[in-house]
Structure 1
Amino acid sequence: MALEACGWTPEEVVTAEGRVTKSNAAVHDGPGAECDVTRHLALNSGIEIFCVYFNDFDNRWYYTTLGWVYGNYVTITRTSQPGGLARC
């Protein structure tokens, strides 16, 4: 993923809800580990999700109301649209 994607903010329409599955999960300002960390989330925190994005390394990232969270650290608990989560 190119660093220019850091700071990217797609359309903000909540399409799902999820729960954080990793203690102290990092929230980034873009869909990649090299993007700045803006905060951390507690285990089992509920989050609202706008969309899902697969970066150049095929890693799944969720764009949330708090920023970008690595997909392996989130379990989707509910989607609000047919066909599942929207793509970013």
Structure 2
Amino acid sequence: MRLSLRLTREQEPYWPPLEQALLEISAQQSAMVRAGQDPKEALGIGAGMRIYGVARPFLDQLREDQKAQVRARARAMGFGSIASQI
């Protein structure tokens, strides 16, 4: 995702906290799959709000075309309500 956004030097410092949150949710989803649970359960409102809170400073730095990419990715991940706030 980071590469497709083509972040500027000024935007780069805002990426690591978001990347970490996304990696944690991904790990949680993987653990749920291994336990025979629905991985979508990891994408509850709490996770969405956590990502949004971490992502806000990053999103504030993005151009409109970059924000459109992030919205599309958020919708694909099941965060449609959050995507509409970007």
TM-score after normalising by structure 2: 0.32
- Asked which structure has the greater CA Rg, the reply is 2
Q: TM-score, normalised by structure 1?
A: 0.31
Return the structure number with greater relative CO, CA threshold 8 A, min gap 6. Answer: 1
Structure (1/2) with the larger strand percentage: 1
